[in-house]
Amino acid sequence: MKRSLALALTLASGLALTAAAQTPSAPDAAAAPAGPAKIAVIAFQVAVAQTNEGQRSFADLQRKYQPKQVQLKALNDEIESLTKQLQAQGDKLSEPERAAPAKTIDDKKKQLDRSAEDAQNDMQNEMQELYGALASKVYDVLNDYVKKNSYTLVLDFSQQQNPVLYAADSTNITKAIIDAYNVKSGVPAPTTPAAGAGTTPVPSAPRPAAPKPTTPQ
């Protein structure tokens, strides 16, 4: 039951930007400017999601699946109500009398599981396509920014496994790339929150902090 409810209520959570698409490969090392190394870090997935276009697109996707969330929530509530009714009757019902409502509840649970899983898979697939297309455009802006500012290396610390243990805030170009993309795209900042944003967060635009040192376990 908890599994069914979790599936029903997390269709659009987390942006699921987790492993949504791979970051394009790094620029050709031969094109790097000569001289001292100039290194920057970026939370690339965060940058993609927090562009004005990203916020708008992901909010639209959330709104698209909001009716399905409502349906799943209603079905889950119905299952809970039927379960409570059956439990309240307790020993008043014989085994044959309990069999029919018990089967109804079981059938509805299976329906909820299937519907929630299908909806979640559909949304994740759409999110991957959306993210992949947008990531490619943001990467073009990043590539131009890197060349213009003579960076020799940019490390992405938005991945679960990354080599960055520490970076000064001044090396974090995430916000700069978001701003540069917003200017290039011309998409205005969102003015209204997505439907149901109170329960299903959409990425906002705080500047991500640079990674800090971690203590080995």
pLDDT tens digits along 177-200: 999 999 999 999 988 654 444 333
pLDDT, tens digit, 9 for 90 and up, residues 100-116: 899 999 999 999 999 99
For the chain, domain boundaries = 2-12+36-185
Average pLDDT on 16-27 reads 39
Cα–Cα distance between 181 and 177 in angstroms, integer?
A: 6
CB 151 within 8 A of CB 39: yes
pLDDT, tens digit, 9 for 90 and up, residues 47-71: 999 999 999 999 999 999 999 999 9
Q: How many residues does the chain have?
A: 217
Average pLDDT on 194-215 reads 38
- Collapsing DSSP to helix, strand or coil, 173 comes out as coil
24-to-12, 107, 116, 216 alpha-carbon distances in Å: 25, 45, 32, 30
- Collapsing DSSP to helix, strand or coil, 36 comes out as coil
Task: State yes or no: pLDDT of 23 exceeds 70.
Answer: no
- Which pTM was predicted? 0.68
